[in-house]
């Protein structure tokens, strides 16, 4: 079966990389801004690579060329050609200046790439999104990240309609023009690639603060939003300041412009964008207030603000040579954000959250037809590669390397990386080389991690020899084949470990071959297919705690007994591994329920948790995480042929066992205690108690639904903030409790004008499990507030349905697939990036049971056969269906 459409574009390959034949030293851009028509004049000061004899070729997509001149002489029609998104110009020399004038139509741009309108024609504003290849939708340019140019940008527009004019860089003058128009100029002293270009123009309100960097630069920090939500920018501004301080203290990195602008928009394809000096944010990751923002979302705002800010060094000052190196900036920046968030909040909780995301999004990606290496070797549409693999697995690779070098060694290596590559477009090799050479360590073995797709399996087997008082741990690794990579080589896997005695105490470690004792914890590195590690002076058969803190992104296969896991769940002081032991044990319990193989694992899991629940030893937030079994997507990964409805049911049965063991009355009492402490504060303890309360309420609903719904209903009514309100609504709606209707109607009326809160109203209904979901989704589509044109809204309803509601989406009759494929086609005509992203919900289709598998395949094949799909969606479906 050939799934690829005939007209698929030729892939871009890493091996074909060539340095640019033409560079741009400086570029002057002048915009005459209008909603229906904007004119852009670009003057490019060109540099030719004398070693390459290539004509001048510039990227440009969908541009209406109005005028073109070379060295101030207008060009004859015969002296240039514009076809297939390339402008070829004759006669250019080193030092030539090319001037083009083009027209854009921002209001018609529904793809939200290039220059577009956010909001209504009357009240909305203009903005840009360029990464990865959006700049070519704005003007002709060598639109690749290794062309770094100095940008001067002049914006001109009607003063009443566009009172605020912003572009990246430092402000460099502003003034009045004729006819009620005005202008503003911005100059960026730092050469930068075109993907970091940005402008914003419209009626915006601001919130500002003065900041002085560690190296004494005065910086204006300014948050911008539409006037009605500017009050919700305070938290983000605080988070920005915290991020700036942290980067100074942790990495010695200072901010480098006089201004730092951040703008919120409700119309955005992604979370946020790190444009130099002018970050643009999806409002979801910038606006926050207790009435409309949950605790999880607050942490999301802090994390994304930090992430984009950290890009100023890891991404902007040091950028990527080509898009294959994307993880160079993204993996590293995710790692920097994760360390920051761990420092600001609870480190173990952050680690649990990140690993849960890695498993849900990246392990599933790696196990399906879209699997690709952290550094892919080819792509057709680069926007399809902003994936969990590039981001989250990429971050895990940096974490392993940082662990290998130690805190000081890593800092030394990062200093060298920034120093060597500042103002350059770098590669993954440059990164490993800088870190390694600063520490006299060869890090090149880690390149295999970047090059191989698939999640390595780490097998661990322990043997205790009582006569020799030795414990031998045999570790071996194996990475299953993925498309195009039938054979994998071993990768270095750092395994942080401890050994526990039967009484739950950690044993002192004496690792054979190492001089001193290792204390209670050691790191061993498995860098071949199999290796033995021998521990001496072990006086009893130990229980190993492996991969502590999740020291490598692998799947651990260890023949733990339920009893051993229960011991770790009860005693392991490493919060992450304690949670991990609970997850493994819950998975064993799940398997036992599925296969009807006895109660040992279920009893061990419920027993250990019940002791922790009634004791005082575990903090409330961690307890909530411990009480939550792995999600349906992660459980599906354990099945050879997954039936999502059955997984949903079995997971509920597992939760019922737990709830019965904890007991309806103790759950109720705990709920009352937590409810009595309710506040609206954001401190860790208040957040933890809300988190546990939600979890207890959900468990109570498993054993005493009537009482739980009454409590949920009054929690909904009395909630001081969104976390409690949404938690209560979620319990009622997912159970389709009688009280759900009133609560939903109330929520709808109350948040009618609050887009982000309204998204949650759609989301919570998109999560109704099982058969009823689809009918509800269809009904919600005719809600006047539903639109496919707004990415957040489309994701809230369709994205959540397909990606976060397995039992609803994967109906046995295939109706979910047919419906979803139809919507993808509609969405693709408007916004290919969003359509392609949502389509990845099909990723697990090959591991479904046969009836669903065939239904999913048919729906995708049918969609692909239309032949009019975007490159984005076409590539995803083509890969999905490849043999
Ligand atoms: N760099 C942007 C993502 C751009 C996505 C383009 N499709 C946000 C970030 O990772 O910080
Ligand atoms: Zn990023």
DSSP string, 512-530: TT-SS--TT-EEEEE-SSE
Residues near ion ligand 2 (CB < 5 Å) are 330, 333
Report pLDDT digits (tens) over 651-663. 999 999 999 999 9
Q: Which of 803, 808, 726, 712 is nearest to 759 (CA)?
A: 726
Residues ≥6 apart with Cβ < 8 Å to 797: 762, 763, 766, 777, 780, 781, 786
**C-alpha dihedral, 580 to 585 to 586 to 589, nearest 10°:** 170
Atom number, ligand 1, closest to the C-alpha of residue 383: 7
Q: Are 74 and 51 in contact (CB under 8 A)?
A: no
Task: State the DSSP code for 798.
Answer: I
The CB density around residue 94, as the number of other CB atoms within 10 Å, is 11
The angle formed by the CA atoms of residues 639, 640 and 646, to the nearest 5 degrees, is 45
Q: What is the pLDDT at residue 883?
A: 83
Q: What is the pLDDT at residue 8?
A: 58
Atom number, ligand 1, closest to the C-alpha of residue 304: 11
Residues ≥6 apart with Cβ < 8 Å to 83: none
308 lines ligand 1 (CB under 6 A): yes
In the reported structure, the alpha carbon of residue 329 is separated from the centroid of ligand 2 by a whole-number distance in angstroms of 7
Whether residue 132 is preceded by a cis peptide bond, meaning omega within 30 degrees of 0, is yes
Name the residue at shortest CA distance from atom 9 of ligand 1. Answer: 273
Ligand closest in space to the Cα of 334: 2
Name the residue at shortest CA distance from atom 4 of ligand 1. Answer: 131
Task: For residue 664, give Cα distances in angstroms to 466, 698, 701.
Answer: 46, 11, 9
Q: What is the pLDDT at residue 3?
A: 41
In the reported structure, the alpha carbon of residue 331 is separated from the centroid of ligand 2 by a whole-number distance in angstroms of 8
In the reported structure, the alpha carbon of residue 416 is separated from the centroid of ligand 2 by a whole-number distance in angstroms of 21
320 lines ligand 1 (CB under 6 A): no
Ligand 1 pocket test target in 136, 330, 832 with most atoms within 8 Å of CB: 330
Ligand 1 pocket test target in 112, 129, 130, 131 with most atoms within 8 Å of CB: 131
Instruction: Produce one character per residue of 370-400: b if its CB has 16 or more CB atoms within 10 Å, e if not.
Output: bbbbbbbeebbbbbbbbbbbbbbbbbbbbbb
387 lines ligand 1 (CB under 6 A): no
Residues ≥6 apart with Cβ < 8 Å to 511: 518, 522, 524, 533, 534, 535, 536
32 lines ligand 1 (CB under 6 A): no
Q: Which of 252, 251, 254, 259 is nearest to 216 (CA)?
A: 254
279 lines ligand 1 (CB under 6 A): no
709 exposure class (CB count in 10 Å sphere: 0-12, 13-18, 19+)? buried
Residue 478, beta-bridge partner list: 457
Q: Which of 318, 349, 449, 436 is nearest to 394 (CA)?
A: 449
Name the residue at shortest CA distance from atom 3 of ligand 1. Answer: 273
Q: What is the pLDDT at residue 770?
A: 98
Distance (Å, whole) CA 488 – CA 456? 9
Catalytic residues: 308
Report pLDDT digits (tens) over 102-126. 999 999 999 999 999 999 999 999 9
| Helix axes of 755-766 and 772-781: crossing angle, nearest 10 degrees | 150
Name the residue at shortest CA distance from atom 1 of ligand 1. Answer: 273
In the reported structure, the alpha carbon of residue 68 is separated from the centroid of ligand 1 by a whole-number distance in angstroms of 32
Q: What is the pLDDT at residue 565?
A: 98
Residues ≥6 apart with Cβ < 8 Å to 762: 780, 783, 786, 793, 796, 797, 800
In the reported structure, the alpha carbon of residue 252 is separated from the centroid of ligand 2 by a whole-number distance in angstroms of 20
Task: For residue 800, give Cα distances in angstroms to 391, 435, 728, 767, 777.
Answer: 21, 40, 19, 7, 10
Indicate the pTM of the whole model: 0.98
Q: Which of 761, 759, 755 is nearest to 743 (CA)?
A: 761
Ligand closest in space to the Cα of 332: 2
Q: For the chain (length 883 residues), average pLDDT per consecutive 10?
A: 51 98 98 98 98 97 98 98 98 98 98 98 98 98 98 98 98 97 98 98 98 98 98 98 99 98 98 98 98 98 99 98 98 99 97 98 97 98 98 99 98 99 98 98 98 98 98 98 97 98 97 86 97 97 98 97 98 97 98 96 98 95 98 92 98 98 98 96 96 98 98 98 98 98 98 98 98 98 98 98 98 98 98 98 97 98 97 98 92
Helix (H) or strand (E) holding 476: strand 470-478
Ligand 1 pocket test target in 265, 273, 275, 276 with most atoms within 8 Å of CB: 273
Residues ≥6 apart with Cβ < 8 Å to 719: 725, 728
270 lines ligand 1 (CB under 6 A): yes
Distance (Å, whole) CA 60 – CA 56? 13
Q: What is the pLDDT at residue 637?
A: 86
Name the residue at shortest CA distance from atom 5 of ligand 1. Answer: 131
In the reported structure, the alpha carbon of residue 60 is separated from the centroid of ligand 1 by a whole-number distance in angstroms of 21
Instruction: Name the pairing type of β-strands 164-167 and 199-202.
Output: antiparallel
Instruction: Produce one character per residue of 225-251: b if its CB has 16 or more CB atoms within 10 Å, e if not.
Output: bbeebbebbebbbebbebbbebbeebb
Q: What is the pLDDT at residue 517?
A: 78
In the reported structure, the alpha carbon of residue 668 is separated from the centroid of ligand 1 by a whole-number distance in angstroms of 44
273 lines ligand 1 (CB under 6 A): yes
Q: What is the pLDDT at residue 5?
A: 45
């Amino acid at each position: 079966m050939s799934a690829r459409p005939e007209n698929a574009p030729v892939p871009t390959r890493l091996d074909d990389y060539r340095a640019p034949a033409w560079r741009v030293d400086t570029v002057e851009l002048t915009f005459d801004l209008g909603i229906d028509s904007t004119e852009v004049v670009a003057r490019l000061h060109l540099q030719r690579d004398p070693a390459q004899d290539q004509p001048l070729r510039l990227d440009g997509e969908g541009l209406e060329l109005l005028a073109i001149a070379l060295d101030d002489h207008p060009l004859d029609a015969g002296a240039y050609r514009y076809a297939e998104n390339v402008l070829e110009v004759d006669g250019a020399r080193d030092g030539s200046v090319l001037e083009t004038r083009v027209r854009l139509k921002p209001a018609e741009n529904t793809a939200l790439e290039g220059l577009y309108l956010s909001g209504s024609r009357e009240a909305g504003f203009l903005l840009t999104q360029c990464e990865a290849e959006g700049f070519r939708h704005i003007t002709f340019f060598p639109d690749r990240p290794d062309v770094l140019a100095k940008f001067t940008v002049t914006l001109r527009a009607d003063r009443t309609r566009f009172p605020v004019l912003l572009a990246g860089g430092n402000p460099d003058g502003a003034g009045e023009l004729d006819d009620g128009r005005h202008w503003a100029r911005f100059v960026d002293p730092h050469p930068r690639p075109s993907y970091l270009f940005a402008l914003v123009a419209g009626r915006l309100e601001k919130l500002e603060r003065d900041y002085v960097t560690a190296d004494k630069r005065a910086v204006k920090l300014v948050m911008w939003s539409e006037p009605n939500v500017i009050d919700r920018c305070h938290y983000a501004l605080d988070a920005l300041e915290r991020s700036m301080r942290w980067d100074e203290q942790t990495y010695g990195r200072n901010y480098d412009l006089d201004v730092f602008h951040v703008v919120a928009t409700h119309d955005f394809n992604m979370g946020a964008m790190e444009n130099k000096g002018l970050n643009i944010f999806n409002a979801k990751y910038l606006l926050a207030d207790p009435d409309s923002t949950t605790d999880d979302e607050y942490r999301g705002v802090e994390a994304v603000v930090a992430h984009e800010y950290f890009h100023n060094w890891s991404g902007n000052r040091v950028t990527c040579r080509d898009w294959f190196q994307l993880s160079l900036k993204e993996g590293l920046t995710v790692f920097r954000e994760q360390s920051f968030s761990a420092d600001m909040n609870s480190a173990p909780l952050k680690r649990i959250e990140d690993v849960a995301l890695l498993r849900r999004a990246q392990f599933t990606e790696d196990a399906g037809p879209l699997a690709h290496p952290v550094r892919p070797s080819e792509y057709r549409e680069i926007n399809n590669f902003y994936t969990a693999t590039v981001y989250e697995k990429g971050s895990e690779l940096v974490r392993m390397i940082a662990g290998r070098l130690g805190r000081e060694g890593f800092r030394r290596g990062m200093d060298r990386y920034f120093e060597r590559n500042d103002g350059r477009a770098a590669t993954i090799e440059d990164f490993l080389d800088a870190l390694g050479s600063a520490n006299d360590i060869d890090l090149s073995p880690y390149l295999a991690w970047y090059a191989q797709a698939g999640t390595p399996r780490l097998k661990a087997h322990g043997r205790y020899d009582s006569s020799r008082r030795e414990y031998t741990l045999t570790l071996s690794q194996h990475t299953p084949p993925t498309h195009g990579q039938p054979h994998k080589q071993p990768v270095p896997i750092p395994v942080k470990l401890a050994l526990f005695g039967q009484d739950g105490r950690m044993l002192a470690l004496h690792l054979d071959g190492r001089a001193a004792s290792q204390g209670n914890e050691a790191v061993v590195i498995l860098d071949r297919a199999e290796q033995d590690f021998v521990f001496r002076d072990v006086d009893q058969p130990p229980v190993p705690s492996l991969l502590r803190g999740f020291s490598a992104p692998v799947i651990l296969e260890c023949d733990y007994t339920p009893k051993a896991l229960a011991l770790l769940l009860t005693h392991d002081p490493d919060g992450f591994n304690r949670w991990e032991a609970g997850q493994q044990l819950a998975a064993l319990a799940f398997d036992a329920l599925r296969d009807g193989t006895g109660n040992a694992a279920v009893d061990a899991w419920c027993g250990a948790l019940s002791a922790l629940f009634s004791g005082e030893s575990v903090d409330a937030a961690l307890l909530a995480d411990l009480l939550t079994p792995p999600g349906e997507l992660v459980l599906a990964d354990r099945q050879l042929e997954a039936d999502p409805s059955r997984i949903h049911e079995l997971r509920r049965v597992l939760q019922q066992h737990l709830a019965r063991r904890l007991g309806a009355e103790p759950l109720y009492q705990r709920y009352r205690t937590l409810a009595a402490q309710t506040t609206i504060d954001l401190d860790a303890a208040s957040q933890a108690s809300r988190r546990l309360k939600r979890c207890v309420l959900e468990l109570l609903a498993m054993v005493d639904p009537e009482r739980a719904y009454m409590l949920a209903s009054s929690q909904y009514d009395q909630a001081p903030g969104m976390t409690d309100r949404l938690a209560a609504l979620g319990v009622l709606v997912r159970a389709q409790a009688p009280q759900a209707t009133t609560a939903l109607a109330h929520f709808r009326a109350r948040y009618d004008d609050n887009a982000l809160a309204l998204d949650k109203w759609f989301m919570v209904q998109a999560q109704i499990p099982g058969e009823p979901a689809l009918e509800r989704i269809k009904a919600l589509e005719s809600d006047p507030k539903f639109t496919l044109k707004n990415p957040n809204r489309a994701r809230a309803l369709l994205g959540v349905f397909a990606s976060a509601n397995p039992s609803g989406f994967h109906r046995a009759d295939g109706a979910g697939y047919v419906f979803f494929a139809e919507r993808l086609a509609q969405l693709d005509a408007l916004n290919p990036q969003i359509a392609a992203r949502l389509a990845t919900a099909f990723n697990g289709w090959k591991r479904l049971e046969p009836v669903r598998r065939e239904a999913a395949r048919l729906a995708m094949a049918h969609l692909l056969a239309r032949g009019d799909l975007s490159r984005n969606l076409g590539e995803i479906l083509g890969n999905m269906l490849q043999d």
